[in-house]
C-alpha cells in the first residue's frame, strides 16, 4: 500500500462536502459504549456481507497544532505505519495485505483516522494490530527522517506544484487571522523541515490516549464479541489529561480582502470565500426551530442550487449557456470545531476576464436572492437527499465516516436522522435569508490567480 497516494485530504472533502454525502443517513449503532478509561466504542451490525470495517478516530488534527509545528498531526499519521514494540517496519501493512484486506489513513483539520476492511474472520486481528500501534509506537530517528521527506514530496505534489492547492492554501491563510484553520493541514514547508522526532513523540503522548479515541466497527460482527475484544486490547490503558484546547476565536472581518497570486499554470481562475455559519458542539438540537441549524441547512441547499454540476444555476447560466466559464464549483463547511465558510471556485473561458466572470456570478446570486425560484428546484434537492439516504445506507464506509464526523464534533448521532427532517422543512425564504447572511462582501476574501509562463512558453 502506498498511503502517500491515497491519504484523504479532508481539506478538499470539507470544501466539496455538499456535493457528496452531506445528506447521508446512518443506521443507529448497535452499541455505543464508553470504557472506564474513556475510550468510546461504536458498533454497527450489518450481516449483508462477510466483511468488517474498523475506523479508529483520534480527535486531534491540524486545528490542534501550534504555530511553528504545523503538519505534526500528519507526520505522526505517517509514523503510525512504521514500527511498534512488537512489529517491524511496515509489518502492519504487510499483515493487512496478507489477509486480503484494505487499509488507509487520513489527517484532517479536526481528526486523524485509521481504517481497515477485512473478512469478518479477521476482526480480532485488526483490533489487536490497531490497539498495538495506538499504544506501543516506536520512534526512531531514521524513520522520522524518511517520513519527513515523504511528506515534503507530498506537499510538493499537492500544493507547491499544484496551482489550485497553492491557491486554496493562500486563500485560507488570508481569510482567517486567529483561527488555526488558516494553517494548511499538511503544514507549512519550513515548519515541516524544522519538526523534530520529539515533536512527534509529544503529539502521540498527548493525543493518542484512550479518552481521546473512538473505535468504530461496522459489518458482519456480534456486538458482544467486539466489546470483549476492545476491552481485551484497550482496557488496561489509562485515561490521561488532555491538553487544554484554547478557542482562538476568529475576529469579525470588517472589509473585503483581495489577493493576487501567480504561479506556473495554464489557466487563470478565482476563488471567493465568505465567512458563514457552522454547526458545532454548542449549536443546540438538530431541529428546524434552531436558527443556526436552519441557516446551515439552508446554506447547503443554496450551494446545491447554485453549483450542482448538472442542474446548478451558475453551471447552467455561465458554463453551458453563455459559456463564460469553463467550470464553477460551490462548496461549504457545515459541521466543525472551527469557523464556517462558503466558497466559489470559478475558471473563466478564453477571452473572458476574471473581473467579468466574478461580476456575472454576483449578478446571478443577486437574482436568486431577489426572486423566487420554482418549487421544483427545492424539491429536486430533497429528492436527491432521499436517494442519497438509500445509497449511503448500503455503504458501510459511508456510515462509518458519517459517524466519525458526528463523534469528532461531539454531536449526538441522532443528528444523522434529524438532519433530513430539517431539510424537508426548509423553504425558499429560508434559503434567501441564509444567502443574505452569507453573501456579505465585507466578510469575503477573493483570490485572483494569474498563470505565469510555463517552460514551454505556453500560458
| pTM score, whole prediction | 0.90
- For 245-324, strand residue ranges (E) read 257-264, 269-276
Note whether 301 and 375 are within 8 A (CB).
Answer: no
Average pLDDT score over residue span 400-419: 91
pLDDT (tens digit per residue) in 270-309? 999 999 999 999 999 999 999 999 999 999 999 989 998 8
Q: Is the pLDDT of residue 21 over 60?
A: no
CATH superfamily placement of domain 3-234: Metalloenzyme, LuxS/M16 peptidase-like (3.30.830.10)
With cut-offs at 50, 70 and 90, classify the pLDDT of residue 392. low
* Closest C-alpha among 145, 158, 141, 68 to residue 107: 158
CA gap 52, 105 in Å, rounded: 16
Q: Grid coordinates in use for 290?
A: 434552531
Percent above pLDDT 70 for the chain: 91
Lowest mean pLDDT among 111-120, 157-166, 419-428: 419-428
With cut-offs at 50, 70 and 90, classify the pLDDT of residue 458. very low
Lowest mean pLDDT among 40-54, 162-176, 294-308, 373-387: 373-387
Domain 257-452, architecture per CATH: 2-Layer Sandwich (3.30)
Q: Grid coordinates in use for 286?
A: 438538530
> Is 454 exposed, middle or buried (CB count within 10 Å of its CB: 0-12, 13-18, 19+)?
exposed
**What is residue 20's predicted lDDT score, i.e. its pLDDT?**
34
Note whether 341 and 332 are within 8 A (CB).
Answer: yes
Cell numbers 465568505: residue: 274
Q: Grid coordinates in use for 211?
A: 479518552
Residue 412's Cβ-side half-sphere holds a number of Cα atoms within 13 Å equal to 11
**What is residue 361's predicted lDDT score, i.e. its pLDDT?**
98
**Beta partners for 259?**
447
Q: Answer left, alpha or beta for residue 90, where phi above 0 means left and psi between -120 and 50 means alpha.
A: left
CA gap 275, 176 in Å, rounded: 9
What are the domain boundaries of the chain? 3-234, 257-452
Q: Which residues contact 262 (CB under 8 A, 6 or more apart)?
A: 449, 450, 451, 452
**What is residue 248's predicted lDDT score, i.e. its pLDDT?**
86
pLDDT (tens digit per residue) in 91-138? 999 999 999 999 999 999 999 999 999 999 999 999 999 999 999 999
Residue 230's Cβ-side half-sphere holds a number of Cα atoms within 13 Å equal to 29
CA gap 268, 448 in Å, rounded: 8
Q: Which residues contact 92 (CB under 8 A, 6 or more apart)?
A: 81, 84, 103, 129, 133
**What is residue 417's predicted lDDT score, i.e. its pLDDT?**
86
Percent above pLDDT 90 for the chain: 81
With cut-offs at 50, 70 and 90, classify the pLDDT of residue 17. very low
DSSP 8-state assignment for residue 411: -
Q: Is the pLDDT of residue 9 over 50?
A: no
**What is residue 375's predicted lDDT score, i.e. its pLDDT?**
80
Strand arrangement of the beta sheet that strand 112-119 belongs to: 8-9, 102-107, 112-119, 51-58, 213-219, 40-45, 31-34
Q: 3-state SS of the chain: helix, strand, coil percent to 5?
A: 45, 20, 35
Amino acid at each position: 500500500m502506498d498511503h502517500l497516494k491515497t491519504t484523504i485530504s479532508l481539506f478538499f472533502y470539507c470544501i466539496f462536502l455538499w456535493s457528496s454525502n452531506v445528506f447521508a443517513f446512518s443506521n443507529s449503532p448497535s452499541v455505543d459504549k464508553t470504557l472506564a478509561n474513556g475510550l468510546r466504542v461504536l458498533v454497527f451490525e450489518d450481516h449483508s456481507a462477510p466483511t468488517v470495517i474498523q475506523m479508529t478516530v483520534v480527535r486531534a488534527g491540524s486545528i490542534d497544532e501550534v504555530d511553528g509545528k504545523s503538519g505534526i498531526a500528519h507526520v505522526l499519521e505517517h509514523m503510525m505505519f512504521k514500527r511498534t514494540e512488537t512489529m517491524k517496519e511496515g509489518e502492519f501493512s504487510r499483515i493487512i495485505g496478507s489477509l486480503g484486506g484494505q487499509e488507509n489513513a487520513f489527517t484532517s483539520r479536526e481528526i486523524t483516522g485509521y481504517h481497515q476492511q477485512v473478512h469478518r474472520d479477521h476482526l480480532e486481528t485488526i483490533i489487536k494490530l490497531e490497539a498495538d500501534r495506538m499504544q506501543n509506537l516506536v520512534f526512531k530517528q531514521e524513520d522520522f527522517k524518511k517520513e519527513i521527506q515523504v511528506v515534503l514530496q507530498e506537499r510538493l505534489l499537492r500544493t507547491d506544484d499544484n496551482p489550485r492547492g497553492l491557491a486554496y492554501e493562500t486563500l485560507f491563510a488570508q481569510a482567517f487571522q486567529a483561527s488555526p484553520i488558516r494553517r494548511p493541514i499538511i503544514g507549512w514547508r519550513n515548519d515541516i523541515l524544522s519538526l523534530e522526532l520529539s515533536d512527534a513523540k509529544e503529539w502521540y503522548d498527548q493525543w493518542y490516549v484512550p479518552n481521546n479515541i473512538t473505535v468504530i466497527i461496522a459489518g458482519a460482527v456480534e456486538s458482544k464479541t467486539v466489546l470483549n475484544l476492545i476491552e481485551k486490547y484497550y482496557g488496561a490503558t489509562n485515561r490521561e489529561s488532555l491538553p487544554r484546547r484554547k478557542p482562538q476565536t476568529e475576529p469579525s472581518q470588517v472589509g473585503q480582502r483581495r489577493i493576487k497570486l501567480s504561479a506556473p499554470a495554464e489557466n487563470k481562475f478565482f476563488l471567493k470565500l465568505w465567512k458563514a455559519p457552522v454547526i458545532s458542539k454548542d449549536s443546540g438540537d438538530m431541529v428546524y426551530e434552531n436558527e443556526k441549524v436552519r441557516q446551515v441547512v439552508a446554506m447547503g441547499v443554496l450551494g446545491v442550487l447554485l453549483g450542482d454540476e448538472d442542474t446548478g444555476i451558475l453551471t447552467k447560466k455561465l458554463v453551458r449557456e453563455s459559456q463564460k466559464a469553463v467550470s464553477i464549483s460551490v462548496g461549504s463547511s457545515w459541521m466543525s470545531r472551527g469557523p464556517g465558510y462558503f466558497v466559489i471556485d470559478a475558471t473563466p473561458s478564453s477571452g473572458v476576464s476574471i473581473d467579468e466572470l466574478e461580476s456575472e456570478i454576483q449578478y446571478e446570486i443577486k437574482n436568486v436572492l431577489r426572486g423566487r425560484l420554482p418549487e421544483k428546484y427545492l424539491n429536486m434537492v430533497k429528492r436527491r437527499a432521499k436517494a442519497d439516504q438509500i445509497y449511503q445506507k448500503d455503504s458501510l464506509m459511508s456510515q462509518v465516516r458519517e459517524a466519525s464526523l458526528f463523534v469528532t464534533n461531539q454531536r449526538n448521532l441522532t443528528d444523522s436522522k434529524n438532519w433530513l427532517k430539517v431539510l424537508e422543512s426548509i423553504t425558499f425564504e429560508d434559503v434567501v435569508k441564509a444567502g443574505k447572511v452569507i453573501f456579505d462582501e465585507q466578510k469575503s476574501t477573493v483570490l485572483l490567480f494569474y498563470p505565469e509562463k510555463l517552460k514551454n512558453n505556453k500560458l
